[in-house]
Amino acid sequence: MWSTFELPRSSDGVCNCADFHSLLTITLCCFLVILWLAKEKKGKQVAFKTKQRSIPGPGNYLFGSIANVLALRNMKTALSVLDGWTRKYGPIYRVQFGHKPFIFLNSPEYVQKLLSSTDMNHYGKGFIYEPLRAVWKDGLVVSTGEKWKFRRRLLSKHFFSYKTILSYMQIFNEEADILVQTLGETNTGKGVGIDRLLKIAILNAIARAALGIQVTDIESVEKLEGDIRLTELISRMKEVATKRVMSPWLLFDFIWQFHPLSKVSQFISDLVWKHAKRAIAEDELANGEKNGSLKDDLLGAGVSTEGVLEETATLMSAGYETTEGVLQFLLFFLATHPHHQKLCREEVDSLFQDADDFIHNKGIHYQDLAKLKHLEMCVYETLRHFPIVFCIMRKLKAPLQLEADLELATGTEVAIYISGIHKDPIHFTNPKDFIPERFSPDENQRRHPYAFIPFSAGPRKCIGHKFAIMEMMCLTAKIIRYYNISTTDKLEDIVVLPYITLTLEKPINLVFNKLRPISEP
């Protein structure tokens, strides 16, 4: 049962399954490993080597690497620590994190050099992704080389092509209508957390688009394992992965296998893959002899059954949770900025002014999204404040030239703290303020193209970014069409935890006051 694998938390919000003595033993092991690695520092500290220029960074003293680990281990303050480093050390800085050295790129110019590179030796993922391989195996997010290139091309053609994306608007509308209806049935006029409702709507849209089935068709597993929702599994997966990354000694497999959370990780991985297999089975039942599902497309292109499961597990676990997080923040910003909510609602209402639209209860079409200009700016401003994938990392298999006197060596782990770049006052005046107009066409033209990268950029840009934006705009448009949103929560009171993605400690309380009958278009 899942209760056997509960993840107790300490007061700082970190999962803490090891007792003090176990932690002390592991720490001593880590320290011994670090001392051993230090003997070969000329070969091991590739991340700190450049052609001529020295790179600053925190913890540049004896035992500084341990201090850096301690500074980031408190989940409630880790983001503030990263913000401080970003402000203090400028466009590039180095961090020794336990036994892991890596470089932070903190300027659009340097970030562009990495992300826009066409050298596939610059596409490898960094160590923060390793704990996620238990679930994703070698799916699109973490795969590299020709395999990544082939799978990316297939998914772009069959699942994320322009023509296919257009066909998903019907699914988005239907899920939005169900969400609006459910809000009407559950809303009590008091603050409610709608994280679960958003997760269901978004995960349903992904499952229907990819496999033609509902989440309820795949969520239940054998009774022996209890009633475990896929959304809960994914949340636990992120917590376990974060625990391992933030305790870098746990990245050693020979240490990790003795940690209690390793059993939890295996348990989660097994269940996610059971969900993926069940999804494939339900897809076969739903589609029969028909073609056109993601499974059929991949198998038809020569991808193995194992490969189909990798991409199904990746889509189900990585594709929905980020969108749900952005939507909570977006609804919060609209609630705390009624002027912007009013402008967005006026745009949405204008789509339904035609008499024929009223009679036929028209849904939102793809071409309608282009008319929701202020809503789109609000979405982008939300992504600037809270880029859900707040940090990405690459491992170089070839040198990367940043400047004439600045070259990162082969083997360097390179991190990009997206939240820090989005808060740079050079590119975003008054970065703490919610100003959607900063994403007007004129402002977009003026700004460096790599100053705003919520979906990464370049050849490895998130393949589902258009899907996510369209879905967010459709769901939000339907909600504000029927409800006025307010909240008593304050931004300064919202706690965001860096569990691989930006994760709310608890759902935001939102109040939905009905504006018109839900039966009215």
Query: Are the C-beta atoms of residues 341 and 382 closer than 8 Å to each other?
Result: no
Of 439, 466, 471, 512, whose CA–CA distance to 364 is shortest? 471
Which string of b and e fits 128-145 if b means at least 16 CB within 10 Å? bbebbbbbbbbbbbbbbe
Between strands 496-499 and 501-504, the pairing is: antiparallel
Q: Rounded to the nearest 5°, which phi and psi values hold at 427? A: -105, -25
Of 130, 220, 205, whose CA–CA distance to 172 is shortest? 205
* Residue 231 structural domain: 53-514
Q: Quote the DSSP letter at residue 459.
A: G
In a domain, 35, yes or no: no
In a domain, 26, yes or no: no
* DSSP-assigned letters across all residues of 261-293: HHHHHHHHHHHHHHHHHHHHHHHHHHHTT---S
Q: Which residues contact 168 (CB under 8 A, 6 or more apart)?
A: 205, 209, 467, 470, 471
Q: Looking at this protein, which amino acid is placed at residue 82?
A: L
Domain count within the chain = 1
**Separation of alpha carbons 250 and 27, rounded Å:** 10
Query: Are the C-beta atoms of residues 172 and 476 closer than 8 Å to each other?
Result: no
Instruction: Report helix, strand or coil for 395.
Output: strand
State residue 313's pLDDT score. Answer: 79
| DSSP H or E run through 113 | helix 108-115
The sign one gets for the Cα dihedral 323, 380, 441, 343 is: positive
Q: Rounded to the nearest 5°, which phi and psi values hold at 127? A: -65, -20
The sign one gets for the Cα dihedral 240, 241, 244, 247 is: negative
Q: Over the Cα atoms of the chain, what is R_g?
A: 23
**Separation of alpha carbons 322 and 327, rounded Å:** 9
Query: Are the C-beta atoms of residues 297 and 158 closer than 8 Å to each other?
Result: yes
CB atoms within 10 A of CB 379: 24
pLDDT (tens place) for every residue of the chain, 521 residues total: 344 444 444 444 444 544 444 554 555 555 545 544 554 344 344 444 455 578 999 987 778 888 999 999 899 999 999 999 999 999 999 999 988 899 999 999 999 999 999 999 999 999 999 888 888 888 899 999 999 999 999 888 888 888 888 889 999 999 999 999 998 877 656 667 788 889 889 888 888 887 777 776 665 544 435 556 777 777 788 888 898 898 888 888 888 988 888 888 888 888 777 777 776 776 655 554 444 567 778 888 888 888 888 888 788 777 777 888 999 999 999 999 999 999 999 999 998 876 455 444 568 999 999 999 999 999 999 999 999 999 999 999 999 999 988 999 999 999 999 999 999 999 999 999 999 999 999 999 999 999 999 999 999 999 989 999 999 999 999 999 999 999 999 999 999 999 989 999 999 999 999 988 876 65
Global confidence as pTM: 0.88
CB atoms within 10 A of CB 519: 8
In a domain, 214, yes or no: yes
Query: Are the C-beta atoms of residues 62 and 73 closer than 8 Å to each other?
Result: no
The sign one gets for the Cα dihedral 311, 312, 315, 321 is: negative
Instruction: Report helix, strand or coil for 235.
Output: helix
Query: Are the C-beta atoms of residues 395 and 411 closer than 8 Å to each other?
Result: yes
| Residue at token pair 């676990």 | 317
**Separation of alpha carbons 246 and 353, rounded Å:** 53
Dihedral class, residue 456 (left if φ above 0, else alpha if ψ from -120 to 50, else beta): left
State residue 65's pLDDT score. Answer: 87
What is the CATH classification number for the domain harbouring 267? 1.10.630.10
Strand blocks (E) in 232-354 = none
Instruction: Report helix, strand or coil for 196.
Output: helix
The runs of H, that is alpha helices, within 191-320 are 195-211, 230-246, 253-256, 260-287, 294-300, 305-318
Between strands 406-408 and 413-417, the pairing is: unpaired
In a domain, 521, yes or no: no
> What spatial distance separates the first Cα and last Cα of the chain, rounded to whole Å?
45
Query: Are the C-beta atoms of residues 322 and 388 closer than 8 Å to each other?
Result: yes
